[in-house]
Chains A and B, each alone.
Chain A
């Protein structure tokens, strides 16, 4: 499942979304595991465990009539984490929603992003502070690593490199 998702082409919808986003925002493509393979591995494992824990919630888990997280939703969310966290840092929050979906949320000084995954559908938005916001929705099995790139480049850009200057003192 993980391998198939890694190898598959982006769907036209997500591809179009990505192209439009690239046209407006300078997307800096990080390399997979640029945070270090061990860190990415542990973040993924932690996120997977949290999602699996959510799937144990029973009917009315919030007291307001929420429905349980179905196994299909859990599998979709775990597959999405496997893709997105190749490039993005671990979500600030992984949480269930009353309608049985799972939300992954990121936040930084540059804005926020949310990926919500259900049994068949998912939705994603980036709200950039003082910039362009984007929304995309599609099949819950379409979530690809490009979303991780968007999150990483929009909300967690690398710090600007220090200017390469050299001071030379001359005694005359």
Chain B
């Protein structure tokens, strides 16, 4: 049962787990636009509602994502945007609680 509101306030923090080394610019040592590339076959990106789920949950989810696939990669942090920032570039936020409570997907609106 997920009791989070489906409505997302403009000020809500939405996060994306950043994975080293693939989301990183090696020279600048900061994450790049590739952290926001969707999985193949979709224009949707998996993100988490940090304002509701809290940082600990988001970090644990990031580690879980990094552990998948068995490659040499690690969770390295959270890229944080507000819902308003995401919507300002024409991207919609959609509820995806069928995946797990607190996750949303953002895709082209």
Q: Do A and B come from one complex?
A: yes
A contacts, CB < 8 Å to B: 57-67, 92-93, 95-100, 103
> Do residues A62 and B40 form an inter-chain contact, with CB atoms below 8 A?
no
Interface residue tally for chain B (C-beta within 8 Å): 23
By a CB distance below 8 angstroms, the chain B residues around A59 are 69
By a CB distance below 8 angstroms, the chain A residues around B65 are 63-64
B contacts, CB < 8 Å to A: 17, 19, 22-23, 25-27, 32, 34, 37-41, 46, 65-71, 73
Q: Tell me the complex Cα distance, A39–B41, Å.
A: 39
> Do residues A58 and B69 form an inter-chain contact, with CB atoms below 8 A?
yes
> Do residues B22 and A96 form an inter-chain contact, with CB atoms below 8 A?
yes
Closest 7 CB pairs of A and B: A60-B69, A63-B65, A65-B39, A99-B40, A63-B68, A61-B71, A62-B22
> Do residues B25 and A93 form an inter-chain contact, with CB atoms below 8 A?
yes
Smallest beta-carbon distance A98→chain B, Å: 5
> Do residues B38 and A62 form an inter-chain contact, with CB atoms below 8 A?
no
The secondary structure that dominates the A interface is loop
- With beta carbons under 8 angstroms apart, the residue of B17, B19, B22, B39 that contacts A95 is B22
- With beta carbons under 8 angstroms apart, the residue of B19, B25, B68 that contacts A92 is B25
By a CB distance below 8 angstroms, the chain B residues around A66 are 22, 39-40
By a CB distance below 8 angstroms, the chain B residues around A65 are 39-40
Query: In the complex, what residue of chain B is closest to A97 when comparing beta carbons?
Result: B37
- With beta carbons under 8 angstroms apart, the residue of B25, B38, B40, B69 that contacts A63 is B69
- With beta carbons under 8 angstroms apart, the residue of A58, A67, A95, A103 that contacts B70 is A58
Smallest beta-carbon distance A148→chain B, Å: 20
Query: In the complex, what residue of chain A is closest to B41 when comparing beta carbons?
Result: A99
